[in-house]
Structure formats: C-alpha cells, structure tokens
Amino acid sequence: MSAIAAYRARPMSAERLGRVFWRGLIYVLTVVLAVIFTFPFFWMVSSSVKPPSEIMAMPPKWIPSTIVLSSYVSPFTNLPFLLFYRNTVFVTLMGMLGVLLSSSLVAFAFARMRWPGRDKFFILMLATLMVPNHVTLIPTYVFYSKLDWINTFLPLLVPEWTGSPFIIFLMRQYMMTIPLEMDDAARIDGCGWFRLYSRIIVPLSWPVIGVAAIYSFTYHWNAFERPLIYLNRLELFTVPLGMAVLKSRYSTDFGAMMAMATVSIIPVLIVFFLAQRYFIQGVVVSGVKG
C-alpha cells in the first residue's frame, strides 16, 4: 500500500497509472484467491472451538457464539494423542530424509549420466505410477506380511528410502535445467561423479529439494491409507489414524477431530512459512544466474 501512496504523491504519467493499476490488480487477485483457498481451513479452526450445536448450523456460523476449548483437551485424555504426534513426526522426518537422499541420487543418474537402458527404465519407473494402488494393495500387503513387517514402520519407510518415482521425476526435471557446462568444468577439475552430485548438482537443485521436502513432509504428515493398512497397534498410530478413531459408525466427535487437525496443521504452516523463504528466495543460485 505504501508503494501506491508514494506513487500518488507525484503527478502520474500514463505509464505510472498503468503500473499502479497492475499492482492493484495483483493485490486484489491475490487476496481474493487467498480467501477462497483458506476457507476450509478457517471452517476447521472455527469448528474446533464451537459449541457442538453450532458445528452443523445452516446458514453456517463462521464465528462461534462462545469459544469452547474442550475439544482440544478431551482427545488427549481418551487417546494417547501425544504419542500419535511423536509417531507422526518420526515417520514424517524419516520418510522425508530417506526420500530426499535416495531420490536425489537416482534423479542425478537419470538427468546427468549416460548409462544403457536409462530412458527405457525411466519410462518403466513412470509406468509404476500408472497402476492404480487398489490392485497392488493386497499383493503388497501379503509381501510385507511375509517379511513380518506388519505393525512396523518399515512398509511406510522402505519405499521412501529406495526412492519415490514421483520425487525422482520431479528432481530430474529440475536438474535438467542446469547447464551441462557445469558438469564438464567440474569433471576437468577432477571431481568424481559422486562429488559432482554432492558438491555441484545438489546445491544447485536446492529449490527443488525444498519442494520435494515439503511434498514428502505433507504426504507423510497426512498419510492415511498406508498407515491404516499396515499399523494395527495403537502405540504405532499416527495422528490421521488417531483422528479416525474419533469417528465411529453412528457418530463423530467433529469438534475433537477438527481440533486435532488444527493442532497438527499449525506447526506445519509455521515450518512451511519459514522454509519457503529459505529455498525460494534466500539461496543465491550463483551457478545458474552467473
């Protein structure tokens, strides 16, 4: 707004007027879209502090008449939600770490190296994404249960530590935008392939690693299907599973569900807010820009 005010102070040329108009348009558009995008979140938070009789009111009551905080307390007394949070944090961080380490390496091989069968294998990798999960669910379950991995975090983490096709594809696309001269220069300096990967390509791919980290984090944080199938014991439950236990066939503790969802989202939002600056703007990608 101050920028606009500054412009106002001076007599406006047609060009300036145009610019003010564009800036105004950008702000209006951004704000309108932001409101639409945050709507369900807003409803979720407001439902978590509403008296139960207002949750399903129509027309919707966006602002509760009184603030009720019991939804934030009761789940912790009936279920070990603290443990669920710790499990979720563990699975999320380990899954994220694994997928970043393995996928960046594989993506590097796909994007920067020449090896026989590379392109065919790449298509094969993408093809695995095209098989609907529902048909592989049972054979995969049987496989993991033969390994005695049911009721462990292994079925959730091993596929990450061996590289996820989605993330590999994502990283490959980005790595391919880095000029090839970088590689040649490094190789002439005597840098081996692994050093090229770890010292040159990974630092230059920082923005996409950030995106991959956030994707992976979000995926594991919200994951429901796979934890549901592979985790039976309460002490292994993650937050989404715990939330689902608040729902039974005939009734749902909506307030508690929304409260737990809010509690699980807010830290992520803070992390995202801090992280996005770091990988989107903070890093000077000198190699590319210079």
Partner 1 sequence: MATVTAAPATRAAGRGLTQRQVEAVLGWVFALPYVIHFLVLDVGAILFAFGLSFFETDLLTGFKFMCAPPVNDCFDNYRYLFTEEPLFYKALTNTALYTFISVPLATTLALLIAVLLNQNIKGQGIFRTLFYMPALVTGVAVAIVWLMVLQPDYGISALVFNFFGLKSPGWFWSEEWALPGLMLISLWGAGTNMLLYLAGLQSVPTQLQEAARIDGANSVRVFFSITLPMLTPTILFNVITNMIASFQIFTSSFVLTNGGPNNATITMVLLLYRKAFQNFHFGYASSIAWVLFMIILVLALIVFRSSNRWVYYEGGLRR
Partner 2 sequence: MVKVFARRRFLAAGVGVLGTALVAACGQSAAPTSAPAAAPKPTEAPKPAAAATTAPAPAATTAPAAAATTAPAAAATAAPTQAPAQAAAGAPSPTNTPRPSLTVQGKGKTELLWQMSASDFWIAGTAKVLPTLLDKSEKIGKVTLQPTPDDWQNKLVAAMVAGNAPDVFDMWGDIMPPYVERGQVVDFEPLVKSDMKPEDIKDFYEWQWRDFVMPWLNNIRFGMPRYVNIMFTWYNKDLFDKAGVKYPTNDWTHDDYAEAAKKLAVKDASGKVTQAGLRYPVNSWDRYWYKPIIWGGHTVDPNDNTKAVFGEEKALAAFEWSRKLEWDDKAMLNPLDIQGQDSTLMFAAQRYAMNEEGIYPFEMDNAIQGKFRWAYAHTPKGPTGQRKVLGTTDGYAIWKGSKKQDEAWELVKWASGPINQLEVVVKAAGRVPIRKSVLTQWKDLVPQARPNLKDVNLNVALEAMEQGYPSGREFFKNNIAAQEIIAPALEKVFLTGNTPVSYLKEIADKVTAAQKGGTR
Site for partner 2 in 150-179 (CB under 8 A): 150-154, 157-158, 160-163
Tell me which residue has tokens 């409101």.
35
In this structure, the dihedral spanned by the alpha carbons of residues 214, 217, 223 and 228, taken in order and rounded to 10 degrees, is: 160
Q: Which two tokens stand for residue 85?
A: 């949070």
Q: Does 257 bind partner 1 (CB under 8 A)?
A: yes
- Give the residue, chosen from 192, 267, 270, 278, that forms a contact with partner 2 under the rule CB under 8 A: 192
259 binds partner 1 (CB under 8 A): no
Interacting positions 214-233 with partner 1 (CB under 8 A): 214-215, 218, 221-222, 224
Angle at which helices 118-129 and 81-112 cross, to 10°: 150
Cα separation, 284 vs 286, in Å, equals: 5
* Binding of partner 1 by 180 (CB under 8 A): yes
Q: How far is the CB of 9 from partner 2 (least distance, A)?
A: 49
Neighbours of 16 (CB within 10 A): 13
Residue 70 touches which member of partner 2, partner 1, none, C-beta under 5-8 Å by kind: none
Buried b (16+ CB within 10 A) or exposed e, 182-203: bbeebeeeebeeeebbeebbbe
CA angle, 114 then 158 then 237, to 5° = 150
- Interface with partner 1 (CB under 8 A), residue from 208, 231, 241, 256: 208
* Residue given tokens 């790449």 in the structure block: 122
The interface with partner 2 within residues 231-250 (CB under 8 A) comprises 232-237, 241, 244-250
The one segment of 5-13, 82-90, 227-235, 267-275 that binds partner 1 by CB under 8 A: 267-275
Binding site partner of 118, from partner 2, partner 1, none, Cβ cut-off 5-8 A by kind: partner 1
Closest CB 104 distance from partner 2, rounded Å: 9
Rounded to an integer, what distance in angstroms lies between the CA atom of residue 13 and that of residue 133?
59
From candidates 1, 14, 36, 58, binder to partner 2 by CB under 8 A:
58
Per partner kind, with CB cut-offs from 5 to 8 A, the member of partner 1, partner 2, none near residue 215 is: partner 1
234 DSSP 8-state letter? G
The residue among 217 and 254 lying less far from partner 2, judged by its C-beta, is 254
Please state whether 252 falls in left (phi above 0), alpha (psi between -120 and 50) or beta. beta
Touching partner 1, residues 117-136 (CB under 8 A): 118, 121, 123-136
Q: CB 11 → partner 1: shortest distance, Å?
A: 23
